[in-house]
Amino acid sequence: MGRTMALKILARGAKKKEVVPGEIVIVDVDAVFMHSPDYKFKHFEQIGGVKSVFDGEKVVICPDHHHFLPASQKDANTVKYIVEQGERYGVKYIYGPGTGIGHYLMVEQGHVWPGAIAVGSDSHTTAYGCIGCLSSPMNFEITEVMLSGKAWFKAPPTILVKIEGTTKRGVSARDVAQYVLGELGADGALWSAVEYGGSYIHSLSVWQRMIFSLLTIEAGGTFGLVEPDETTLEFMKGRAKKAFEPVYNDPNPEYSKVVEIDVSDLEPQVAVPPQPSFTKLLAEVVGKPIQQAYIGGCTGGGIEDMRMAAEVLKGRKVNPGVRLIVVPGTRDMYGQAMREGLVDVFNQAGALVTPAYCGPCQQLCVGNLADGDTEIGTHPRNLPGRAGKATSIYLASPYTVAASAVEGKITDPRAFLP
């Protein structure tokens, strides 16, 4: 049996001929993502004598991920401290307000590439696997990684999720990814790499593939990967910060498990409270009243997501009892949405369009819910307390969220589509 791409990337990073599942390896990292590294910089002060991070070109800070335009003076002071300390320790890439969600920026701005190894202080760092980058979240170890440029991993077995077929009208990649997550369950990929393959996956854009790699963490996965193809390499042209060599599976790679899915008859899906892996058929919750709808987040802020939402909203109005918030994933995506007339569609419909950042995914700046309110959104998580106390969050595709905003209740979007 051949080696999987996850094991091959780890072997290359560890400068070893090969590694096997269960082996502990120390690898050189190509990128470190940080969103709120204030406490990490305080670690530097406690250590003493720290003059710089290991490589200022490879550490990326995106305060927008949490803070955007600070909602309090305390937050403003935190952002100021992050920027000042980042500059002090030689970090070259510090993205300011309105630049976008860090996970999108890491891929869009070429801080990661096929075959790279990346770690990040956010749990959704598995996102970059959409381009064949081996990326994984870390937390307390990040201080050491920022100083040494090295990280340790336990080489994982790989689960293959092979997805074939063509979806029906109104069923998007988010519906498919939500279904996959429900099939795997909250711990179905624990300490494993998950590779997404098959004709359906390779028919998607990089940004729609990212939904799968990012949601891998919600099944307990260490890495979420898509093997690079022509779409990947075309996307990467002119982006990567350095020359790269993609890594591919050996012929007949050894998988710990194979999950085969045909999406030809798949119906729209929804995640219900209290966690993302609680997937149900959308039909089971249709009619549930909502007070807020959100299109954005790192699983719903891409340009294709904006197009899907606009397709439903064009010529229609948001229900008077609903607040619809639309947040493009990055400034570049916002600009593209403006050029395509999508932002005008949102404005005419009565949506609130904000600059690019994480949006109400964590309610740190805008989008808090009142007691008893219900929200439906395209973001990745719906854990209790994420939108305030005594509130409920449902997760669905841009089609479903937009249709629900118009109706004032969770709605099947297919009646809104030609």
Query: Tens place of pLDDT for every residue, the chain, 418 residues?
Result: 899 999 999 999 999 999 999 999 999 999 999 988 898 999 999 999 999 999 999 999 998 777 788 888 988 999 999 999 999 999 999 998 899 999 999 999 999 999 999 999 999 999 999 999 999 999 888 999 999 999 999 999 999 999 999 999 999 999 999 999 999 999 999 999 999 999 999 999 999 999 999 999 999 999 999 999 999 999 999 999 999 999 999 999 999 999 999 999 999 999 999 999 999 999 999 999 999 999 999 999 999 999 999 999 999 999 999 999 999 999 999 999 999 999 999 999 999 999 999 888 876 777 889 999 999 999 999 988 877 788 999 999 999 999 999 999 999 999 999 8
Looking at the fold, whether 307 and 341 belong to one and the same domain comes out as: yes
Looking at the fold, whether 85 and 137 belong to one and the same domain comes out as: yes
Longest dimension (CA), the chain: 64
Task: Please report the pLDDT score of residue 67 as a whole number.
Answer: 78
Helix axis angle, 303-313 to 398-407, nearest 10°: 30
Looking at the fold, whether 253 and 276 belong to one and the same domain comes out as: no
Domain end, chosen from 231, 260, 289, is at 260
Distance, CA of 328 to CA of 340 (rounded, Å): 13
Distance, CA of 163 to CA of 393 (rounded, Å): 28
Task: Please report the pLDDT score of residue 134 as a whole number.
Answer: 98
Q: Of how many residues is the chain composed?
A: 418
Contact in structure between 155 and 223 (CB atoms under 8 Å) = no
Looking at the fold, whether 303 and 242 belong to one and the same domain comes out as: no
Neighbours of 392 (CB within 10 A): 19
Residues of the chain by 3-state class (helix, strand, coil), percent to 5: 35, 20, 45
Tokens 């994982």 identify what position?
Answer: 156
CATH assignment at residue 120: 3.30.499.10
Residue 191 one-letter amino acid: W
Domain end, chosen from 227, 242, 260, is at 260
Strands in 29-87 per DSSP E: 31-34, 59-61
Looking at the fold, whether 64 and 149 belong to one and the same domain comes out as: yes
Looking at the fold, whether 23 and 127 belong to one and the same domain comes out as: yes
Task: Please report the pLDDT score of residue 313 as a whole number.
Answer: 98
For residue 409, give its domain range: 269-416
Look up residue 379 and give its two tokens: 């973001």
Looking at the fold, whether 218 and 337 belong to one and the same domain comes out as: no
First to last CA, the chain: 47
Looking at the fold, whether 362 and 256 belong to one and the same domain comes out as: no
Looking at the fold, whether 249 and 343 belong to one and the same domain comes out as: no
Give CA 92 to chain center in angstroms: 23
Sequence-separated (6 or more) residues with CB below 8 Å from residue 188: 219, 220
Contact in structure between 32 and 19 (CB atoms under 8 Å) = no
Looking at the fold, whether 192 and 161 belong to one and the same domain comes out as: yes
In total, how many domains does the chain have? 2
Task: Please report the pLDDT score of residue 293 as a whole number.
Answer: 98
Looking at the fold, whether 192 and 249 belong to one and the same domain comes out as: yes
Task: Please report the pLDDT score of residue 363 as a whole number.
Answer: 67
Looking at the fold, whether 320 and 231 belong to one and the same domain comes out as: no
Using DSSP, state whether 222 is helix, strand or coil. coil
Using DSSP, state whether 104 is helix, strand or coil. helix
Domain end, chosen from 240, 260, 280, is at 260
